[in-house]
Amino acid sequence: MRTRPLKVALLGCGVVGSEVARIMTTHADDLAARIGAPVELAGVAVRRPGKVREGIDPALVTTDATALVKRGDIDVVVEVIGGIEPARTLITTAFEHGASVVSANKALLAQDGAALHAAAEKHGKDLYYEAAVAGAIPLIRPLRESLAGDKVNRVLGIVNGTTNFILDKMDSTGAGYQEALDEATALGYAEADPTADVEGFDAAAKAAILAGIAFHTRVRLDDVYREGMTEVTAADFASAKEMGCTIKLLAICERAADGGSVTARVHPAMIPLTHPLASVRGAYNAVFVESDASGQLMFYGPGAGGSPTASAVLGDLVAVCRNRLNGATGPGESAYAALPVSGMGEVVTRYHISLDVADKPGVLAQVATVFAEHGVSIDTVRQQGKDGEASLVVVTHRASDAALVGTVEALRKLDTVRGVASIMRVEGE
């Protein structure tokens, strides 16, 4: 074993960063044995230097992150501060001064992953980011290494624990959205401002990363269709149960049937109770991968939190340190396929549409005619009426999103249609 330690700079010492530092200290001997050399925490960049950080030598703490990554003797920079800047500049500066990087920054990778990979390649350094998607669940490495010889066709998953907890609570207790959100906040699953989670921004960033790796194609955050789950109601869950389904906020990355393009999207969807993702409860994450040779695979576990995310960071740290000792680098960006990313209008799936209609003869025929005129085939129809008003629930066969949008626009023009109560996609069949 080499006795000279590999030096690590830690950018950020919040929930995840403090756990990274703790594990590096308490598991130092095991890490050294696995790597082949000891690792040394050489500096910790923070915004509030006066805060007491248990187990961290105050002499290591600095507010000058730029100076830390420019030192020249740093082997690996671990970035867990999040956001776009200063993280982007600090990472590229680290490459320029000879360090490899381990990051958990999903937003930055989804927006500027190509530029970061190019900078890493230019300077012959590693960029690893297992912790950016699904916390402790090994997902990035299996996609870009274990399945590198296979053809991945679809990645379908629950990649945000906060939204899964809220939807699971609504499903299991009948709670409304706000009530479930309040409980998630009280338990620490939701931030004081939950917008990034409940509006799908967090999941969309992860979908961009997963699609890029799975399909060897650059997919940016702007390429991902995003729809939040704040409009999901108890009535939607009741309808889902009548169909033998539940509702999840899903990240879905797909290769077109002809293989000529890909799509990436995040939105609520009904999934059959028989699908493995339907049984994912609480704040857990799970990702379902479908490929030609290996078939169907599911990755499941805690998707957030200090310890789970730190576990993924440390796994990357071990891999990068091993590469450093061997004078090598691991796999970089694979974007050779360069497939076009199609818009949501070309996505084909099933739909569950709930309409408020007049309760009188001929309404169903009018509605069915509109669906037929737009090339959308109906699977089932359920109608309930009382006192001149009725609820009409239509479940379609597979249709394009563009065709469905045209259908709904035409339905709104019918005098007998009072309103469109809800539209939800049906996935996982």
Question: Which residues are tagged catalytic?
Answer: 206
How far is it, in rounded angstroms, from Cα 191 to Cα 249?
Answer: 18
Cβ–Cβ < 8 Å for 304, 161: yes
* Burial degree of 51 (CB within 10 A; 0-12, 13-18, 19+): exposed
CA dihedral 413, 229, 266, 273 (to 10 degrees): -100
Phi, psi of 93, rounded to the nearest 5 degrees:
-65, -40
Burial of 35 from C-beta contacts in 10 A (0-12 / 13-18 / 19+): buried
With contact defined as beta carbons under 8 Å apart, do 238 and 259 qualify?
no
Task: Pick the closest to residue 287 from 416, 403, 169, 139 (CA basis).
Answer: 139
- The residues, any chain, with a CB within 8 Å of residue 361's CB and separated by 6 or more, are none
Contact 427, 252 (CB under 8 A): yes
Alpha-carbon distance of 109 to 262, in angstroms, equals 19
State the DSSP H helix or E strand holding residue 368, giving kind and residue range, or none if neither: helix 363-373
**Cis before 138 (ω within 30):** no
